[in-house]
């Protein structure tokens, strides 16, 4: 009996498509730089500011992939700000983190009718949650979800930057299942990556659903239980699992 659905975030709940990461990072750097300048904080030249941030994030990203443990970019931003002699409140640091992310948020899209889908799920008693691999601070992602009108449907959100574990590590899934009070056999996980989302879900015994908008026939060593091109296909899967 499926009593809850866990979702990946990027390119599952929110579609970002093909983006120029370097260009978006440069845009975020400019927004952050202008914000700090507006607060009369000490700053180097923009090129130095941009380079320091980029190097720090790239280094921590590389280490996280080697270790399988996540980092939180807000901690990186905080340390760099301190080294530059800046004194920021928690709220100012959170706003700074948002400004770095804001250019990417403007690339985001959600499927038409998705709010109605989640409203219908919750009205029927299905529990919804998010499990995401991300170094973007949870407070920033929550703000974006709120802007999209999605936050209220996901009372449980587990971000790797907050718990330290990255999918497909079982522990991040178990943390979420514990928070939402479900056993693995009562939950379904929806994601867009075979080696991360589907492999992780299967490890803990959840029904796995791959979101693949291309619809192309592919052969994977790790196979999802279901494959969809749109989240609107999920009610059919839930009905099949619960009433077959």
Give the separation between CA 19 and CA 42, rounded to whole angstroms: 32
- Strands 207-211 and 187-191 come out as parallel
Are 240 and 220 in contact, with CB atoms under 8 Å apart? Answer: no
Per-residue DSSP letter, 183 = -
Q: What is the pTM of this model?
A: 0.94
How much is the pLDDT for 221? 80
Report the C-alpha dihedral over residues 88, 94, 96, 101, rounded to 10 degrees: 170
pLDDT at 243: 85
| pLDDT of res. 222 | 85
Residue 17: predicted pLDDT: 86
pLDDT for residue 94: 95
Phi, psi of 40 (to 5 degrees): 60, 35
CATH superfamily, domain 4-16+109-243, is HAD superfamily/HAD-like (3.40.50.1000)
* pLDDT recorded at residue 68: 86
Strand partners of residue 3: none
CA distances from residue 26 to 101, 103, 202, 236, 243 in whole angstroms, order as listed: 11, 9, 38, 43, 51
User: What integer pLDDT is reported at residue 219 of this predicted model?
Assistant: 67
CA dihedral (115, 121, 126, 129) in degrees, to 10, reads -20
Within 13 Å, how many C-alpha atoms sit on residue 118's CB side?
21
pLDDT at 126: 97
Token match 């989240």: residue? 231
> Quick one: angle between helices 21-38 and 90-105, nearest 10?
150
Question: Percent helix, strand, coil in the chain (nearest 5)?
Answer: 55, 15, 30
The per-residue pLDDT string of the chain (244 residues; one tens digit each, 9 = 90 and over) reads: 899 999 999 999 999 988 999 999 999 999 999 999 999 999 999 999 999 999 999 999 999 988 989 999 999 999 999 999 999 999 999 999 999 999 999 999 999 999 999 999 999 999 999 999 999 999 999 999 999 999 999 999 999 999 999 999 999 999 999 999 999 999 999 999 999 999 999 999 999 999 998 877 666 788 999 999 999 999 999 999 998 7
Decide: 183 and 206 in contact? Cβ < 8 Å.
Answer: no
Asked whether the beta carbons of 98 and 140 are under 8 A apart, the reply is yes
């Amino acid at each position: 009996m499926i009593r809850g659905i866990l979702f990946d975030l990027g390119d599952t709940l929110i579609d970002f498509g093909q983006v120029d990461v370097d260009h978006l990072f440069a845009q975020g750097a400019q927004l952050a730089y202008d914000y700090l300048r507006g607060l009369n904080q000490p700053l180097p030249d923009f090129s130095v500011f941009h380079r320091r941030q980029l190097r720090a994030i790239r280094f921590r990203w590389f280490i996280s992939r080697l270790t399988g443990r996540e980092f939180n970019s807000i901690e990186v931003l905080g340390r760099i700000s301190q080294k530059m002699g800046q004194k920021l409140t928690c709220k100012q640091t959170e706003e700074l983190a948002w400004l770095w992310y804001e250019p990417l948020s403007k690339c985001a899209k959600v499927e038409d009718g998705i709010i109605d889908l989640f409203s219908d799920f919750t009205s029927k008693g299905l529990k919804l949650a998010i499990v995401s691999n991300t170094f973007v601070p949870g407070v920033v992602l929550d703000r974006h979800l709120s802007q999209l009108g999605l936050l209220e449907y996901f009372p449980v959100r587990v971000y790797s930057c907050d718990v330290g574990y990255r999918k497909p590590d079982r522990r991040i899934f178990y943390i979420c299942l514990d928070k939402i009070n479900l056993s693995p056999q009562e939950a379904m996980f929806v994601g867009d990556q075979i080696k991360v989302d589907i492999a992780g879900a299967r490890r803990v015994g959840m029904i796995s659903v791959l979101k693949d908008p291309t619809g192309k026939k592919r052969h994977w060593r790790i196979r999802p239980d279901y494959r969809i091109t749109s989240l609107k296909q999920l009610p059919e899967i839930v009905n099949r699992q619960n009433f077959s």
